[in-house]
């Protein structure tokens, strides 16, 4: 009888663990987590950590080459990408500068997908997706491996722009690959300024969603994850952009939502039918949409405009704001200035955070757009990575690798500044008990020892 009870208890624990591992909301399956939220509560992260003494640094491992993809996690596996070259190895140019020219390099590269055990940093598998000279050059703050992978625990999808889309099974076996030709990720007003591709794929209910806003033949498409079959593709009249798409649900129907300058909007997930659209904003869109309770939030910056927008999920048709308007039937509120150029917004609990590349962080009421507070991180530092949150704390990283921890609330409260001493331009990733930071050379696992 005791043996049977013990067996039942063991099976129950295993079942609970399996359910937890299979729950997408407890994973970090895309760029910046589930639905690009950047949030994982009840993670039980350490209160303090130190990179010099390795206090609460569970492990670190070197990542060869250059890559800005953020870590992606499912179960005990963590995935990153990188691009490896013997001559294109000088790293990133940090700081705020106006030089738009590309890195002058035409060396052969290897595009790698690497799978780690998140608990100890051991490599489980590594695959060379492609070898060759990059079709596009990169910006000094960019690499040839910018896009994060997407996974659903069965498939691992890596997008290397002009070098193709690759789908592996969870054990690293290549299932299929797609070539979309040369995707011209360039500065729209200076096409010779090549900046490389950066829109990450997402995977949802067995479908892969990609957004390709480039100089010619822009499109958004949905593919079947198992076969790679293209289920639909919609052409877009859009400037080159670097935004990752997202998914929202309204009244039981699911929609693909994209940021953009000429064409921000949503499409039915099943059919590709356009549902709504609007134009305006920063003319080099990079941040991704984030999802609230029947509200989609956008930001962007470049050129004359840097708005933050809150769009009702019931939106239909052309909802573009007229000159002087800050709201309409479907735009709940907007702030014409203040949106960030690089960072995706962070919607956390009852606050909407906007981090800018000069370290200014603004907190807004997500329902009204009213500013709650404004603060400044760092001293003349520059930021590229989007912030994340867990258990009442906000984590932001500057380009020199200093991690700033703020307390979520109605006032600016900086808890800690923790230097890593290494260049960091990728968003952190969170899993139960651990937060991961990718620097220029290393991947660090922070967790209670």
Is residue 438 predicted with pLDDT exceeding 90? yes
Which residue stretches of 99-180 are H helix? none
Torsion angle, CA of 160/100/343/297, rounded to 10 degrees?
A: -90
pTM for the model stands at 0.94
7 has a pLDDT exceeding 90: no
Q: What is the pLDDT of residue 17?
A: 39
User: Which residues are CB-neighbours of 25 under 8 A, at least 6 positions away?
Assistant: 34
d(CA 318, CA 286): 22
Query: For 268-318, how does the pLDDT look when each residue is reduced to its tens digit (9 = 90+)?
Result: 999 999 999 999 999 999 999 999 999 999 999 999 999 999 999 999 999
pLDDT value at position 54? 97
pLDDT tens figures, 304-350: 999 999 999 999 999 999 999 999 999 999 999 999 999 999 999 99
Query: What is the model's pLDDT at position 22?
Result: 72
Beta bridge partners of 375: 361
**Residues 394 and 406 sit within 8 Å (Cβ to Cβ):** yes
CATH code for the structural domain at 2-447: 2.130.10.10
- In sequence order, the 6+-apart residues with CB closer than 8 A to the CB of 415 are 393, 405, 406, 407
Buried b (16+ CB within 10 A) or exposed e, 307-346: bbbbbbbebeeebebeeeeeebebbbbbbbebbbbbbbbb
Please state, rounded to an integer, the average pLDDT across all residues of the chain: 94
Confidence (pLDDT) at 384: 96
pLDDT in tens, 29-54: 999 999 999 999 999 999 999 999 99
* DSSP type of residue 196: -
Phi, psi of 254 (to 5 degrees): -110, 145
Q: For position 4, what pLDDT does the model report? A: 52
pLDDT one-digit tens code per residue, 386-421: 999 999 999 999 999 999 999 999 999 999 999 999
Task: Give the angle 166-121-393 at the CA atoms, nearest 5°.
Answer: 95
Sequence ranges of the domains in the chain = 2-447
pLDDT in tens, 212-225: 999 999 999 999 99
8: pLDDT confidence band, cut at 50, 70 and 90?
very low
- Looking at residue 21, its pLDDT comes to 53
Place of tokens 């794929």: 201
Structure confidence at residue 449 (pLDDT): 83
Pull the structure tokens for residue 424.
């960091």
- DSSP E strand boundaries for 325-423: 331-335, 346-348, 351-355, 360-364, 371-376, 388-390, 393-397, 402-407, 414-419
Q: Specify whether the CB–CB gap between 157 and 165 falls below 8 A.
A: yes
3-class secondary-structure state, position 438: strand
353 to each of 4, 140, 315, 347, 408, how far by Cα in Å?
52, 27, 23, 6, 10
DSSP for residue 199: P
215 neighbors 197 (Cβ within 8 angstroms)? no
State residue 381's pLDDT score.
82
Q: Which residues fall within 8 angstroms of residue 117, CB to CB, at 6 or more apart?
A: 76, 77, 78, 123, 124
């Amino acid at each position: 009888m005791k043996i049977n009870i013990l067996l039942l208890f063991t099976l129950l624990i295993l079942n609970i663990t399996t359910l937890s591992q299979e729950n997408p909301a407890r994973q970090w399956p895309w760029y910046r987590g589930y639905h690009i939220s950047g949030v994982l509560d009840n993670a039980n992260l350490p209160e303090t950590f130190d990179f010099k003494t390795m206090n609460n640094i569970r492990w670190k491992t070197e990542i060869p080459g250059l890559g800005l993809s953020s870590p992606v996690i499912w179960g005990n596996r963590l995935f990153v990408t990188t691009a490896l070259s013997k001559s294109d190895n000088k790293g990133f140019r940090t700081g705020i500068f106006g030089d738009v020219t590309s890195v002058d390099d035409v060396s052969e590269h290897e595009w790698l997908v690497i799978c780690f055990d998140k608990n100890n940093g051991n490599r489980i598998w590594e695959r060379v997706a492609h070898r060759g000279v990059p079709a596009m050059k990169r910006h000094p703050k960019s690499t040839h491996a910018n896009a994060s992978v997407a996974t659903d625990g069965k498939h691992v999808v890596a997008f290397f722009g002009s070098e193709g889309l690759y789908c592996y099974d969870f054990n690293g076996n290549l299932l299929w690959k797609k070539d979309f030709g040369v995707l011209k990720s360039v500065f729209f007003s200076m096409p010779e300024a090549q900046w490389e591709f950066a829109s990450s794929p997402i995977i949802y209910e067995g479908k892969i969603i990609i957004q390709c806003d480039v100089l010619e033949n822009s499109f958004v498409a949905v593919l079947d994850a198992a076969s790679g079959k293209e289920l639909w593709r919609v052409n877009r009249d859009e400037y080159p952009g670097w935004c990752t798409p997202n998914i929202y649900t309204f009244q039981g129907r699911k929609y693909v939502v994209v940021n953009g300058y000429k064409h921000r909007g949503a499409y039915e997930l099943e059919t590709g039918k356009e549902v709504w659209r609007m134009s305006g904003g920063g003319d080099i869109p990079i941040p991704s949409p984030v999802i609230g309770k029947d509200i989609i939030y956008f930001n962007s910056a470049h050129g004359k405009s840097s708005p933050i927008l809150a769009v009702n999920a019931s939106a239909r048709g052309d909802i573009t704001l007229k000159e002087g308007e800050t709201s309409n039937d479907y735009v709940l509120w907007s702030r014409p200035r203040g949106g960030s150029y690089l960072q995706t917004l962070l919607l956390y609990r009852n606050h909407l955070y906007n981090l800018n590349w000069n370290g200014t962080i603004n907190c807004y009421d997500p329902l009204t757009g009213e500013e709650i507070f404004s603060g400044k991180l760092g001293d003349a530092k520059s930021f590229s990575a989007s912030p994340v949150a867990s258990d009442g704390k906000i984590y932001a990283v500057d380009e020199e690798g200093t991690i700033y921890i703020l307390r979520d609330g109605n006032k600016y409260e900086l808890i800690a500044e923790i230097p890593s001493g290494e260049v960091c331009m990728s968003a952190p990733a969170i899993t139960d008990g651990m937060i991961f930071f990718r620097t220029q050379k290393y991947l660090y696992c922070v967790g209670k020892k």
